[in-house]
Amino acid sequence: MDLALQLAAVVLGLAALVWSADRFVDGAAATARLLGVPALLVGMVVVGFGTSAPELTVSAFAAAGGDSEIALGNAWGSNICNIALILGLSAAISPLVIPRAALRFDLPVLFAVTALSWMLLVDGTLSRADAWILLAVFAAWLGLSIRSAVRGKKAAVAGGAPGGGLSGRAAAFWTLAGLVVLVASSRALVWGAAGVARALGVSELLIGLTVVAVGTSLPELASSVAAARKGEDDLAVGNVIGSNLFNTLAVVGLAGAIRPMESVAPAVADRDVFVAFFLTFALLFWLPFPFIWLKADVRRLARPAGWLLLFLYAGYMAWLLCTETGVA
């Protein structure tokens, strides 16, 4: 009976998490616009936070409850899922243009912060000082991104922000309702996932890296695939890079600030952070080159690269299941 209830909490928690994150983004963006907040900040902060809100809330509650493996598994599993599954599927559907701004700034920053996080975790701990380092880097990256966008005159048009048709009362209602359901569903998901892991005799890290990570990445999956189908390549690629930066710095940083982790499973640094690092390296230095063509000074991530990423994700999942279940 307990296992059935915990499984129900995982399924319903994931569904409510995705729904509430969408409602929260719409409400918060509309509220910010009605209060006169610049559209640039709405797009970069409110919407950027919204797509990663599931990872943030799940990891925060997991850390607060002492389930550190779910917190870290959720963050790093989501990063791997974002690049290998989501970006791979998007490129397999339609070749993606890799924004030059991403190649020159955001991807190198993601590569650097992934290396930084590996160095902080390699000793098997995540101290509060480590967490504050990640949060400070996140604040610096966000500030630089906003300043760069302002200088480049890339601010989005306010009318194009999510929730554009909401009234003030509706915007406030959906912001509050979305946040309440987001918090409640996160707590239910963490409780259910931890219970399922114990009942099945598998590690919480495995549950965090698979079920929880893929579930909390559903907003990114939906938005990136939709963007790829519509030819909005900047959105598809930028969504993945921005989400991974947010997960690496803000999600892991907040989890560590809430509860320092004195014993991080060696597999996190040796396997999961390494895989995220390898995929980021491949995306920045390798994948574009054998699978691109130059046309009108545009670089594309073609379908073969997308299929390769999907193959790599399947290989990682097989490796994960073998090592975490004791098969290998």
For CA atoms 226, 229, 235, 239, the dihedral sign is: positive
Q: Are 279 and 83 in contact (CB under 8 A)?
A: yes
pLDDT at position 158, please?
Answer: 43
**CA 152 to chain CA mean position, Å:** 26
Relative orientation angle of helices 218-229 and 233-246, to the nearest 10 degrees:
160
Task: Please report the beta strands in the chain, taking only residues with DSSP state E, as ranges in sequence order.
Answer: 96-97, 300-301
Tokens of 182: 């987001």
Tokens of residue 237, six digits: 């690629």
Q: Quick one: tokens of 173?
A: 């209602």
Domains of the chain: 2-324 (1.20.1420.30)
Q: What's residue 40's pLDDT?
A: 47
Q: What is the pLDDT of residue 227?
A: 65
DSSP assignments along 120-176, one per residue: HHTTS-B-HHHHHHHHHHHHHHHHHHHHHHHHTT-PPPGGGSTTTT--HHHHHHHHH
Task: Say which amino acid occupies 200.
Answer: L
Q: How confident is the prediction along the chain (328 residues), in pLDDT tens digits per residue?
A: 577 887 888 788 778 877 776 776 677 667 766 766 554 455 455 555 666 777 787 788 788 888 778 888 888 988 999 899 988 888 888 888 777 767 777 788 889 999 999 999 888 899 999 999 999 999 998 888 777 666 654 444 444 445 556 777 787 787 778 777 766 776 777 777 777 777 777 777 887 888 777 777 776 776 677 667 767 666 677 778 888 888 899 989 998 999 898 888 888 888 899 999 999 888 877 665 544 444 434 467 788 888 999 999 999 999 888 886 665 5
**Torsional sign, CA 36, 37, 38, 39:** negative
Backbone angles phi, psi at 42, to 5 degrees: -60, -45
The residue behind tokens 């509860």 is 259
What is the C-alpha separation between 64 and 300, in angstroms, rounded? Answer: 42
pLDDT for residue 135: 94
